[in-house]
Homo-oligomer: A and B are copies of this chain.
Amino acid sequence: METTNQNITHTRATCLASVKAVKDALYVLNGKWKLPLILSLSEGPMRFKDIQRALGEITPKVLSNELRDLEENEFVERKILSTKPVTVLYEMTPYSRSLDRVLEELRNWGLQHRQRIMRKSE
């Protein structure tokens, strides 16, 4: 059947494109910390130590690396305020706002996944 074949071809092609898109996304968002870090900035700018606390035991070296990486990819902006002792603030860029929906879905999924795991372990 022509229709069926076309449909199969169509879904095959779009499926491959989708797989590629997800791989593209993961390429920049990989690792344990990037998404949680971006999320933690979504309520407003934060300082280094505060991010560290919010993420729960990330070492300063790793955090520093992640921040640098995110800065290079324009997800995060580093701002230095000339206060009494200088204050360094990390802030989301408009571009990282484009991740809001991804983070929202991931958060929701994480919440229900934890519940499922809890239920199973009883």
Contacts and interface: CB of A to CB of B under 8 A. Distances in A.
* A interface: dominant SS: helix
A22 B36 contact: yes
A110 B32 contact: no
Given A15-B54, A36-B19, A25 B106 contact: yes
A84 to B, nearest CB: 22
A62 interface: no
A24 to B, nearest CB: 4
B105 A109 contact: no
A102 B113 contact: no
Interface residues of A, number: 43
A22 B98 contact: no
A119 interface: no
Interface of A: 11-12, 15-16, 18-26, 28, 30, 32, 35-36, 39-40, 42-43, 54-56, 95, 98-99, 101-114, 116
